[in-house]
Amino acid sequence: MRNIELKARCADLETARSVCERLGADLQWTRHQTDIYFRVPDGRLKLRIEEPGGATLVAYQRPNAAAARDCRYTLTPIDDIHASVADLEATHGILVRVEKTRTLYLLDHIRIHLDRVDGLGTFIEFEAVMSPHHDDGATHARLADLRTAFAIVPADLVPQSYSDLLS
């Protein structure tokens, strides 16, 4: 699976919510998420626990860049969270835990995340879910339009994962 992603600091989540509504984005949910990152030699590996919801193991490769960037990932649903955490911790060791409240909006094939991350602050993230019928150039142009709509300036862009910012 593949996304094109962009992350930025967002000083005002209420204004961002208003922009989402003005653009016609569909509110999906607000959830608490715990992401447990494990030490791996290549890429990133995290176990995402959602409340309400279940757990998913996410393995992904994405460069750190303050621009829209390609992310390749796999998702594996997890039934036994406690056993999985214990196994992954024994195998890899825990790098960091990220606690956040995320609100998800959908706009076409783009997920808009409004995040409040414990210890870091508030962020907005765009994830364009790519498929064979989505054009990379058109998606980059759409993300640039969203940057403008949300008044994201270059100084707001965040190249790193939340795990990098906390570890």
What domain range is 59 assigned to?
Answer: 2-166
Total tally of structural domains belonging to the chain: 1
Contact partners, residue 10, CB within 8 Å, separation at least 6:
16, 114, 122, 123, 124, 150, 156
Give the pLDDT of residue 73: 97
Pull the structure tokens for residue 166: 């906390």
Instruction: Specify the pTM.
Output: 0.95
- Say how many C-beta atoms besides its own lie within 10 A of residue 104's C-beta: 19
Angstrom CA distances, 113 to 16, 17, 138, 157, 161, stand at 10, 10, 20, 14, 14
**Whether 46 contacts 38, CB under 8 Å:** yes
Report the CATH number at residue 97: 2.40.320.10
pLDDT value of residue 143: 97
CB 124 within 8 A of CB 110: no
Tens of pLDDT along the chain (167 residues) come to: 999 999 999 999 999 999 999 999 999 999 999 999 999 999 999 999 999 989 999 999 999 999 999 999 999 999 999 999 999 999 999 999 999 999 999 999 999 999 999 999 999 999 999 998 889 999 999 999 999 999 999 999 999 999 999 98
The whole-number pLDDT of residue 142 equals 97
pLDDT at 91: 97
The phi and psi torsions of 71 (rounded to 5 degrees) equal: -135, 125
